[in-house]
Amino acid sequence: MLSISHRGKLMPASPIRKLVPYAETAKSKGIKIYHLNIGQPDIETPKEILDAVRNSNFKVLEYSHSAGNESYRKKLVEYYQSVNITVDYQDIIITTGGSEAILFGFMSCLDAGDEVIIPEPFYANYNGFAVAAGVVVKPITSSIETGFALPPIEEFEKVITDKTKAIVICNPNNPTGYLYRKDEMAVLKTIVQKHNLYLFSDEAYREFCYEGEHFSAMQLTGAEENMVMMDTISKRYSACGARIGALVTKNKKVIETVLKFAQARLSPPTFGQIIGEAAIDLPGGYFERTKAEYKLRRNLIVERLNNIPGVFCPQPGGAFYAMASLPIDDADKFCQWLLESFSYKNATVMLAPASGFYGTEGLGKKEVRLAYVLNAESINKAMDCLEKALEIYPGRKS
Amino acid sequence: MLSISHRGKLMPASPIRKLVPYAETAKSKGIKIYHLNIGQPDIETPKEILDAVRNSNFKVLEYSHSAGNESYRKKLVEYYQSVNITVDYQDIIITTGGSEAILFGFMSCLDAGDEVIIPEPFYANYNGFAVAAGVVVKPITSSIETGFALPPIEEFEKVITDKTKAIVICNPNNPTGYLYRKDEMAVLKTIVQKHNLYLFSDEAYREFCYEGEHFSAMQLTGAEENMVMMDTISKRYSACGARIGALVTKNKKVIETVLKFAQARLSPPTFGQIIGEAAIDLPGGYFERTKAEYKLRRNLIVERLNNIPGVFCPQPGGAFYAMASLPIDDADKFCQWLLESFSYKNATVMLAPASGFYGTEGLGKKEVRLAYVLNAESINKAMDCLEKALEIYPGRKS
């Protein structure tokens, strides 16, 4: 009989998507939904970079080099230098979104049956890329009580086996917003050196750190061969639809191997590369303004959350996510109830239940992720909804 | 020790790429190179579709739906209807190039160790996607003497095992230009039905058929569940850099599974989808003009080739490739020699040795693929070079 592949069956569906039908029903009833459930920024894409595409002037929309346009890779070297990451353009392969950088990294360094350690909660799509590559995710738990700090070194040691090939981190973190400190990065360096592991460092949100400075895996000197950075322009410039990312490593064997995967798919998108290259010449002040806006929203949402009785939200140091624990029975049920059975002033709020971000079954049941990708006025209204909802939710627990 | 994955080592490097250093050296000596080695069309991308991007007017470059914009998927239904393929928009998932459609098809339907049968010579990157998915390619040989017609049904039966899950065809074919006839497609239907196999049909060059009419796998009635079509706008509209393709099937389980892989990578490129959607409203005459131009080139290159002593080139029915056998010892050596040691009127020609398109070691040693993606004047000059080169090539065999 015609059958779906085993990995196709294992492939997780988007954990956020399952709530979409309830949201659509609510909308059809005329209820306004505040979307704090997805990481699609509302910040406008800088006009200058969209204009670079609109003013483009070629006659044939050709394939680019499989590794990406050399001019763009050279420009990226300048950008990385500006954030104190020193790389050569030959250390960079342009990918179709950060997604492809993760997939290529997994495919090039890991085989079916190999294990990767990921502090949980983690970006849910790492599961998808792991299934595609046949790789086993071994979660170690970071907890809301410590603000999702890196688990202690012993927790890593406990799960390391001879099949362990890599550690994956996202810094600053999606979904927690946690910013790994320099000393935590040093711990990771110690572990990967001791056990000969790769450190896959997803730095999609690098530019959005609100107090501490970002410390990149690429700045860990002496362990260059172990470091593979995954990057993207999606969040940095509100350019998610460009589908442009990069895999960056000084490990020549990894670059050579990733290039072979890149050649098989021919090239990354041309227009997206124009966007990415133009972004590096954005006039000063763009990141400062954008960061200031996100920081204002972060301060607002964290304050509003912690003012709701029974809610706890640790201060996230970066990205544009906050994780909160709620006084409820089950966040999946609560998020569905918000869409299906609740409204306040004809509005409700859509949140991401945290269970989808944990690898360990049963964790995160009372937690939700909130993406502060709406302006302050909308965040206030969304928090009004959440506050009222928690007062009357039938599954409330104290 | 840090190691590259086994599949990363198995991953083939681009067979065409190995000649690039020789081409660069020739260029640095001031030698003009006629590139007949790659399938990058020189035909201008229709201005109307580039203008659709240039006139786009949104503020935020957002993710699209993981399956692609609904408006584009619905437009594609109209396009397919125009070529007598009847599908619903829910049978279509927009992919990042035809490449991703092939990868998603393999990942969703095949597991590591499964076998796919592919008539050789075949598009070399199928090897890459097979390695990524851990799938074993079982080639069956089509030969230049029959113009690369579909091998007889017995040849398929010989290699079918209980691990065989699919047959892959490219129609019209890259690299041979062969256009499968309706009766050959019926044979394929018989085989896939009898053995419960998928038929993956790569129809990238559908619009470029010069005599016979294209008969799609999607037109094989009664075996809808077996058919998975891979498509792309790259060649159709000279829009390779858009990176937009599609996977099309009426098999609901396959679509659901492919969607999960699509969700993990979030979305296909936004600008490319604008290109694809605008293309469907291109004013009449675009395909006629483009096809006429390619047909003129095909007639010219085939005639020129067959007029060279010792050269044989069967008439290709579609795509923009011709395969020729040459009176030489080894096409890899010859193609390198053309770049390294030969010039005529300060020019030379770059060809693709056919060995990279065969799965069976040792086949195609005297064959080359020629992509007629240059205008008639350039093709004539390239053929002048080839003719002179064959007169003096030290490895000439009669």
Tokens found for residue B114:
């499964």
Among candidate residues B148, B199, B146, the one with its CA nearest the CA of residue B169: B199
Among candidate residues B226, B218, B202, the one with its CA nearest the CA of residue B95: B202
User: What pLDDT score does A17 carry?
Assistant: 79
A68 vs B: CB within 8 A: no
B242 vs A: CB within 8 A: yes
User: Mean per-residue pLDDT for B24-28?
Assistant: 95
Query: pLDDT category, A398, cuts 50, 70, 90?
Result: confident
- Fold classified for B47-279: Aspartate Aminotransferase; domain 2 (3.40.640)
By CB atoms closer than 10 A (0-12, 13-18, 19+), residue A311 is: buried
A398 vs B: CB within 8 A: no
B241 and A63 within 8 Å at the Cβ level: the answer is yes
Going from the C-alpha of B18 to that of each of B14, B317, B350, the distances in angstroms are 7, 29, 12
| Residue A212 reports pLDDT greater than 90 | no
Going from the C-alpha of A238 to that of each of A41, A243, A276, A290, the distances in angstroms are 6, 11, 11, 10
User: Mean per-residue pLDDT for A167-189?
Assistant: 97
Paired with A168 in beta bridges are: A200
Q: Which residue has the tokens 């949980």?
A: A120
Q: Where are the domains of chain A?
A: 6-44+286-392, 47-279
B8 and A107 within 8 Å at the Cβ level: the answer is yes
| Residue B398 reports pLDDT greater than 80 | no
Instruction: Name the residue facing B107 among A7, A62, A97 (closest C-beta).
Output: A7
User: Mean per-residue pLDDT for A10-34?
Assistant: 92
Nearest residue of chain B to residue A64 (CA atoms): B241
| Residue B41 reports pLDDT greater than 90 | yes
B260 vs A: CB within 8 A: yes
Higher pLDDT, B21 or A76: A76
User: What's the CA gap between A126 and A143, in Å, rounded?
Assistant: 19
User: What's the CA gap between B240 and A266, in Å, rounded?
Assistant: 9
B55 and A55 within 8 Å at the Cβ level: the answer is no
Instruction: Name the residue facing A61 among B50, B197, B198 (closest C-beta).
Output: B50
CATH of domain B6-44+286-392: 3.90.1150.10
User: Mean per-residue pLDDT for A321-339?
Assistant: 98
User: Mean per-residue pLDDT for B71-83?
Assistant: 98
Mutation choice for A interface testing from B11, B61, B106, B164 by most A CBs within 10 A? B61
Write out pLDDT tens, residues B248-285: 999 999 999 999 999 999 999 999 999 999 999 999 89
Average pLDDT score over chain A: 97
Among candidate residues A363, A313, A391, the one with its CA nearest the CA of residue A36: A313
User: What pLDDT score does A18 carry?
Assistant: 85
User: Mean per-residue pLDDT for B214-221?
Assistant: 97
User: Mean per-residue pLDDT for B336-353?
Assistant: 97
A137 vs B: CB within 8 A: no
B375 vs A: CB within 8 A: no
User: What pLDDT score does B16 carry?
Assistant: 78
Contact, B350 vs B35, CB < 8 A? yes
User: Mean per-residue pLDDT for A337-342?
Assistant: 98
Query: pLDDT category, B14, cuts 50, 70, 90?
Result: confident
Question: Range with the lowest mean pLDDT among A17-21, A268-272, B91-95?
Answer: A17-21
Write out pLDDT tens, residues A114-160: 999 999 999 999 999 999 999 999 999 999 999 999 999 999 999 99
**How close, in Å, is residue A269 to chain B by CA atoms?**
5
Residue B208: which residues within 8 A CB-CB, separation 6 or more?
A: B172, B235, B290, B291, B294, B318, B319, B320
Question: Could you tell me if the ipTM is greater than 0.85?
Answer: yes
- Same fold? A6-44+286-392, A47-279: no
Q: Which residue has the tokens 């599961």?
A: A127
B271 and A13 within 8 Å at the Cβ level: the answer is no
A125 vs B: CB within 8 A: yes
Using H for helix, E for strand and C for coil, what is the string for B131-199? HHHCCEEEEEECCHHHCCCCCCHHHHHHHCCCCEEEEEEECCCCCCCCCCCHHHHHHHHHHHHHHCCEE
